[in-house]
Structure 1
């Protein structure tokens, strides 16, 4: 079926056509071929031809020529454009040529030399496993048996790892193994590291934010250790289409931008894509509690309504929202002691602030999760092969289970052809699902962004996206799964009840016509850089002439680390002198430690894993844990051993955690006066503690009971941007003392919802706070902070674009036609206090008054 026929299926013969707010037909693109390079290994060329690649695309030739010539290269083209050929052709050709040359004069010692090696890095194990299968198919088709290729990651046994160290020519792994095992033990890995000819960094656009900063520093350490053995590898980066790929790639690997050859002209063919923006309908009635209607696929979507009080901030979290996306967890886990709540400090995960509320007259809409489950069932029943991307692990399980229930009533034979796919599954479960999708055994897969990255799954008819994925880069990556290899495809973006989602489905140009974002990360972030300097010193003592590699902040940080006794300074450089490994100081993915294993109590079977920082809210005692449609109830949580014990039970309820949070200013780094308004940025501490949980009956979410928990507090030190509104500004805006909390809270929600238009982040990268009298500023204050330890550059971006950001926020509120505030403007899907109080019109007046004092231009 073509996209037009599939769209007719979704529209149900026109009955649901009004839900499609915009339909765009993207024209097909013809492909442009190039010639195989003269230097290409003829056996490999024969293998590619046997696999159906008679001639390469022009962009593949451009990139391969640059890589073979020794230039650092980034290839930024669309999903399915064949980026892997551009690096495997020169890499495998070089390995084969060196092996052939090594046997020209057997027995002569002067002919002995290290053969070149290749290191492939990807953000996920799934992608590395997929690339291994791809390379093995190529080598088999080529009849090549003299190239040894292997994956090596946390799942690799000790014996297999030893073989990789001693024999593998091509090693496929991830930055985590490089950081924790290879670089600290580089003498053991000297054959691999000392002979590196190429380092391939696949899907490099996924390395953004704090995770990107960590990976950038790991790559600098790798280049430095390789140089100590005399190796100077060519850095090859593959990326989705991103803004300014040469600059981003250069910043990632630590070289000047002019040294990176960027290939951005996509010469591969593309079929016609039908792109649909879709808004779920309003729900009838509206008498039920608002909290019961918030989307359950968002990590902190369901809320516990708490009477407004001035002494604490209390909220609720969705226990299955263990991370907002699969590019790495964003929650901190810096243990800290509990603090007395500072009134009226807000609530929500990492202090999302949002404890302040409004009388709602607008009816809520159906959740994106429920809508996508319906659409997925319709498409699978019509014979289509579909991926449905969700925002969380719980969302993937929910969509799959609901779709199966729909199909059971009409097409029972199709039930098993719909499955869920997410992080936390065991490796063998993920591999089996990937193969089932490729073979067509599974026709509908509800997945997190784990399948956004380059795992080769072709032949799909449609992609459903449940909620704005955070960036246009991610959206186009997910959309690229539909109609790969030049076939036509259908893409449907289904809006969540979120101001940004609602705005985007009614402003298609912002989705389909705006340029994709540049990758944002800061390798100079002191919270990220300091432990990597320690790790570098432990690997090879740091010399003064090497500090340029780590940026201008490195000398001052080294002095501070020396004064604290963390490093020791000698004439020859800086040394790590402690017994424990320096690499243990850094958690690349910000997960806060070892993942918590979920184990079935009766059998000892490992069910899956949960990130350490999510464990308190997701696998606490009594929590309901869902795994491939089966429900388990957690019996015990042992944080010190990173184990949760669970028992399989059929239950009719879910669990929602409650927490308390507080925020305090640690350091004001920059401050600007807009007349009476203060606009500032700096470091803040946000302390959160899970206090208990509710059991709610499904599906009506009726409260069945409330239970207390005794869990430790967690403190996040991060970057924030904030502005104050003294009494004179409130009076200027006509905002009374009674209306001020609702005005501030509404302005906070809307500004968090709009910042992703200006920075490469999404709402789940951010937290916030609004208060009538903050203890550190002395005035009414709105905070927006990064959800990562030390910050990720998002608050800094907001600070630099203050007037633009606040003007966009004001305009978005003003343009919304609702009467008193709705999810399209000032209500938040992750508000920890039930969006109460909110005052849309007072927020509009307040933002107008604040902007009247903003600097021109």
Structure 2
């Protein structure tokens, strides 16, 4: 195992370069990697690639497979299908892996998080004239230039001082997430950064007393300091791991835009979202994932802000759900999943880019009534981009009526009884689709569409 290593974007640049070099030189037999190794990195010619689970697109799969067999050498590429619909589709139709064209890539140039960085880099290389260069950056270039660039006496716009001297170093090419958390190894008096974690993962991976895995080694989280964006860990030898117990509360705090749903009295809202993440404990698990112990922790809640959209469930739908004895929380949860699964049809996004408040059975089925009171509503928010959001939910908000209609058609057209990954269940649900009502989601979506039930 010493000749097999892990690889992900959160590793330090020094560690990534070392792993790449050792693979290139043949010192390693293999690498277990995320998509960070998919392109843009030269690790030489590989003999075989094993892809576990179908990636998001055919292009991703071909890029990963293309890692092997370079320099005219024979190679092997193996796709190990998972249980999800996209995997099983290609398991049953393998010819399409070779014949299906790559999907078209669209860049949302209305998203300021994407646009400004590229405009600043372009203006650094060559001054911009909005009337001439709008062909490359679309109609809102003039507005961006006026607000974000520096204008000279001849009418040319130059890179802002805050991006100098090298703007390309300040523009992330992988995603729009600003915050990262450093994992610091303090074993034996050391203070070495092992890797970095994205904010969207850190709060559910790092907690006092938890186990953090790095390159096959187990580290005990001694101290998590979210305000400093660091976690201190110590190397330990244990035969157990941990799994956090958590819940997330999502609440809109400011309305910035409203859209009327055609043929309905319902409205969709867009604006600022407050995300409160609570890790209240964790399970100790053995190697077979059996629970050895349940630990309670007293961590303060983590509060974040983003952008998102929400829809209040019509009163008539709530009355029908009560009349039919359908679980309201399960109906909302299922409807949210159905809408989320269709967002890639309208805006380029990856699973997890937009999230919702998944319902936990421990809360929804508890005998004691929860102290948190909020309206019955569907809520979606950007997981990346900080308080400004990533822009994905902004774009999805423009198509909310079509999203609702497609979600309803998908549910009505699915022949399952209780809900499956083809309609309302999600493989990304952190509570394993425990609180779910397919029939209830149909009631809610019909009410948004103005249909009777």
Report the secondary structure of 1:446's partner residue. Answer: strand
Report the secondary structure of 2:77's partner residue. Answer: strand
Alignment of 1:494 with 2:90, yes or no, is no
Report the secondary structure of 2:297's partner residue. Answer: strand
Q: 1:530 to 1:581 in 2, by over 3 A?
A: same
Name 2:382's counterpart in structure 1. 786
Quote the RMSD (CA, aligned, Å).
4.6
Q: 1:838 aligns with which of 427, 432, 436?
A: 436
Q: 2:65 aligns with which of 472, 479, 484?
A: 479
Alpha-carbon displacement from aligned partner over 1:496-542 (angstroms, at most 9, x marks no partner) = 5x565566656768866553222233333245556887899999998
Name 2:295's counterpart in structure 1. 705
Alpha-carbon distance in 1 for matches of 2:321, 2:97: 34
Q: 1:760 aligns with which of 344, 348, 352?
A: 348
Return the structure number with greater relative CO, CA threshold 8 A, min gap 6.
1
Name 1:634's counterpart in structure 2. 221
Name 1:523's counterpart in structure 2. 109
Q: 1:443 to 1:499 in 2, by over 3 A?
A: same
Alpha-carbon distance in 1 for matches of 2:228, 2:378: 39
Alpha-carbon displacement from aligned partner over 1:433-468 (angstroms, at most 9, x marks no partner) = 435545655444321112111434565454333334
Report the secondary structure of 1:753's partner residue. Answer: helix
Alpha-carbon distance in 2 for matches of 1:648, 1:579: 40
Q: Is the 8 A contact 2:260 2:267 kept in 1?
A: yes
Report the secondary structure of 2:188's partner residue. Answer: coil
Q: 1:456 to 1:709 in 2, by over 3 A?
A: same
Alignment of 1:604 with 2:214, yes or no, is no
Alpha-carbon displacement from aligned partner over 1:757-800 (angstroms, at most 9, x marks no partner) = 554322221212489xxxxxx98543334333245554455456
Alpha-carbon distance in 2 for matches of 1:512, 1:801: 33
Report the secondary structure of 2:62's partner residue. Answer: helix
Q: 1:714 to 1:532 in 2, by over 3 A?
A: farther
Q: Is the 8 A contact 1:687 1:715 kept in 2?
A: yes
Report the secondary structure of 1:763's partner residue. Answer: coil
Alignment of 1:749 with 2:347, yes or no, is no
Q: Is the 8 A contact 2:279 2:299 kept in 1?
A: yes
Alpha-carbon displacement from aligned partner over 1:29-74 (angstroms, at most 9, x marks no partner) = xxxxxxxxxxxxxxxxxxxxxxxxxxxxxxxxxxxxxxxxxxxxxx
Q: Is the 8 A contact 2:317 2:443 kept in 1?
A: no
Alignment of 1:682 with 2:292, yes or no, is no
Q: Is the 8 A contact 1:482 1:488 kept in 2?
A: yes
Name 1:647's counterpart in structure 2. 234
Q: Is the 8 A contact 1:596 1:612 kept in 2?
A: no
Q: 1:693 to 1:470 in 2, by over 3 A?
A: farther
Alpha-carbon distance, 1:671 to partner? 1.8
Q: 1:550 to 1:486 in 2, by over 3 A?
A: same
Name 1:92's counterpart in structure 2. none
Name 2:52's counterpart in structure 1. 466
Alpha-carbon distance, 1:843 to partner? 2.5
Q: 1:520 to 1:702 in 2, by over 3 A?
A: farther
Alpha-carbon distance, 1:708 to partner? 1.7
Alpha-carbon distance in 2 for matches of 1:510, 1:809: 26
Alpha-carbon distance, 1:707 to partner? 0.9
Alignment of 1:658 with 2:240, yes or no, is no
Alpha-carbon distance, 1:689 to partner? 3.4
Alpha-carbon distance in 2 for matches of 1:530, 1:460: 38
Q: TM-score, normalised by structure 2?
A: 0.73
Q: 1:783 to 1:689 in 2, by over 3 A?
A: closer
Alpha-carbon distance, 1:833 to partner? 4.6
Q: 1:815 to 1:586 in 2, by over 3 A?
A: same
Alpha-carbon distance, 1:839 to partner? 0.9
Q: 1:609 to 1:417 in 2, by over 3 A?
A: closer
Report the secondary structure of 1:611's partner residue. Answer: strand
Alpha-carbon distance in 2 for matches of 1:474, 1:707: 40
Q: Is the 8 A contact 1:672 1:679 kept in 2?
A: yes
Q: 1:809 to 1:535 in 2, by over 3 A?
A: same
Alpha-carbon distance, 1:629 to partner? 0.8
Name 2:328's counterpart in structure 1. 740
User: Aligned runs of 1:536-575 on 2, under 5 Å?
Assistant: 548=134, 551-556=138-143
Q: Is the 8 A contact 1:461 1:489 kept in 2?
A: yes
Report the secondary structure of 1:755's partner residue. Answer: helix
Greater strand content: 2
Q: TM-score, normalised by structure 1?
A: 0.42
Q: 1:523 to 1:759 in 2, by over 3 A?
A: closer
Report the secondary structure of 1:609's partner residue. Answer: strand
User: Aligned runs of 1:576-615 on 2, under 5 Å?
Assistant: 588=172, 589-593=175-179, 595-604=181-190, 606-611=192-197, 613=199, 614-615=201-202
Alignment of 1:421 with 2:11, yes or no, is no
Report the secondary structure of 1:713's partner residue. Answer: strand
Alpha-carbon distance, 1:815 to partner? 5.8
Q: Is the 8 A contact 2:12 2:196 kept in 1?
A: no
Name 1:450's counterpart in structure 2. 36
Alpha-carbon displacement from aligned partner over 1:694-745 (angstroms, at most 9, x marks no partner) = 14222313443121223652212x354x555423456689974743332221
User: Aligned runs of 1:76-91 on 2, under 5 Å?
Assistant: none
Q: Is the 8 A contact 2:113 2:391 kept in 1?
A: no
Alpha-carbon distance, 1:575 to partner? 9.3
Question: Which structure's CA Rg is the greater one?
Answer: 1
Q: Is the 8 A contact 1:483 1:490 kept in 2?
A: no
Alignment of 1:671 with 2:259, yes or no, is yes
Name 1:621's counterpart in structure 2. 208
The number of residue pairs the alignment matches comes to 427
Alpha-carbon distance, 1:804 to partner? 5.8
Q: 1:531 to 1:664 in 2, by over 3 A?
A: farther
Alpha-carbon distance, 1:679 to partner? 6.0
Q: 1:667 to 1:520 in 2, by over 3 A?
A: farther
Report the secondary structure of 2:352's partner residue. Answer: helix
Alpha-carbon distance in 2 for matches of 1:473, 1:791: 27
**Structure 2: gaps of 5 or more residues:** 360-373
**Structure 1: gaps of 5 or more residues:** 1-414, 562-566, 772-777
Alpha-carbon displacement from aligned partner over 1:137-178 (angstroms, at most 9, x marks no partner) = xxxxxxxxxxxxxxxxxxxxxxxxxxxxxxxxxxxxxxxxxx
